[in-house]
């Protein structure tokens, strides 16, 4: 199994914290956030990592290198000064991607049986799968409508009453969907997903476990408390 991690954004909501470091390099209990991600991915059986990087990417590459130190294999796809958006970043990484691959945001920390999700995806002849969580606006604004195992609607801007699910920050894509993304132009995953949903090509997979994210200061503080709790529980406090 392979995963592309979208870690190239400017993280403007975390300024001034991210003025000199990328969001992936924010430290929690002695480890950068990306290392926490890579550790749970390895535990879930994913060692083939494509990092889509941009803003201050040299810091990420210097720290992690090829990933062997952590028991994973890391390849880098660099956007340069002009960021291409979340889907544009995948198009830019096209040459590194397998026939089917996971996609995860660079600010998400979650609990998922990746093998189970991948197995579900392979049962159906569809182009994409979105992992969803029944959120009821608890952790963030719900943005997904599910019907009969398919994503019926996805909208991060305009919420409707029947939106009780939220995208979990993980999807699976067939590489053929990259043909829908214009090369060298700014293009979002939201636009790509809307296209796939209209053509009934996006499966839904519901998880029961909550997620953490560090895309905002409130999310950052919540994850910090979670990692501190784990550290105390394991008796491995980092000074």
Q: Which 8-state DSSP code applies to residue 182? A: P
Contact 166, 132 (CB under 8 A): yes
Tokens 């796939």 belong to: 196
Distance CA 220, CA 207 (A): 22
pLDDT score at 142:
85
48 DSSP β-pair partners: 2, 73
What's the start-to-end Cα distance of the chain, in Å?
35
Helices then strands, counting H and E runs in the chain, come out as 6, 13
Contact 222, 108 (CB under 8 A): no
Q: Residue 12, Cβ neighbours under 10 Å: how many?
A: 7
pLDDT values of the chain reduced to their tens digit, one per residue, 239 residues? 999 999 998 888 898 889 999 999 999 999 999 999 999 999 999 999 999 999 899 999 999 999 999 999 999 999 978 889 999 999 999 999 999 999 999 999 999 999 999 999 999 999 999 999 988 777 777 889 999 999 999 988 877 788 989 898 899 999 999 999 998 899 999 999 999 999 999 999 999 988 899 989 999 999 999 998 888 877 654 44
pLDDT score at 237:
47
**Strand pairing of 108-109 and 100-105?**
unpaired
pLDDT score at 235:
67
pLDDT score at 137:
72
Answering whether pTM is above 0.75, one says: yes
pLDDT score at 122:
96
**Strand pairing of 73-78 and 27-28?**
unpaired
pLDDT score at 113:
95
pLDDT score at 11:
85
In 3D space, the residue among 51, 156, 167 whose CA is nearest the CA of residue 101 turns out to be 51
Question: What is the H or E stretch that residue 59 is in?
Answer: helix 57-64
pLDDT score at 232:
83
pLDDT score at 81:
80
| Secondary structure (3-state) at 186 | coil
Retrieve residue 102's tokens. Answer: 């996971």
Write down all domains in the chain, each with its CATH number in brackets: 2-234 (3.90.550.10)
Q: Which 8-state DSSP code applies to residue 13? A: G
């Amino acid at each position: 199994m392979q995963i592309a991690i979208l870690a190239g954004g400017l993280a403007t909501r975390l300024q001034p914290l991210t003025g000199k470091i990328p969001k992936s390099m924010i430290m929690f209990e002695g480890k950068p956030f990306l290392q926490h991600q890579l550790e749970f991915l390895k535990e879930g059986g994913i060692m083939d990592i494509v990092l889509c990087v941009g803003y201050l990417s040299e810091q990420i590459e210097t720290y992690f290198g090829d990933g062997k130190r952590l028991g994973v294999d890391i390849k880098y796809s660099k956007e340069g000064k002009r960021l291409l958006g979340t889907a544009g970043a995948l198009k830019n990484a096209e040459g590194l991607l397998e026939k089917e691959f996971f996609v995860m945001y660079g600010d998400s920390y979650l609990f998922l049986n990746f093998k189970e999700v991948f197995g579900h995806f392979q049962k159906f002849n569809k182009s994409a799968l979105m992992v969803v969580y029944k959120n009821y606006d608890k952790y963030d604004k719900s943005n997904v409508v599910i019907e009969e195992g398919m994503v019926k609607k996805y909208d991060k801007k305009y919420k409707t009453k029947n939106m009780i699910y939220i995208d979990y920050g993980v999807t699976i894509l067939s590489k053929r969907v990259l043909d829908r993304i214009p090369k060298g132009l700014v293009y979002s995953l939201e636009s790509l997903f809307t296209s796939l949903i209209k053509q009934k090509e996006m499966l839904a997979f519901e998880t029961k476990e909550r997620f953490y994210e560090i895309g905002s200061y409130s999310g950052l503080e919540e994850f910090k408390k979670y990692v501190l709790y784990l550290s105390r529980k394991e008796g491995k406090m980092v000074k």
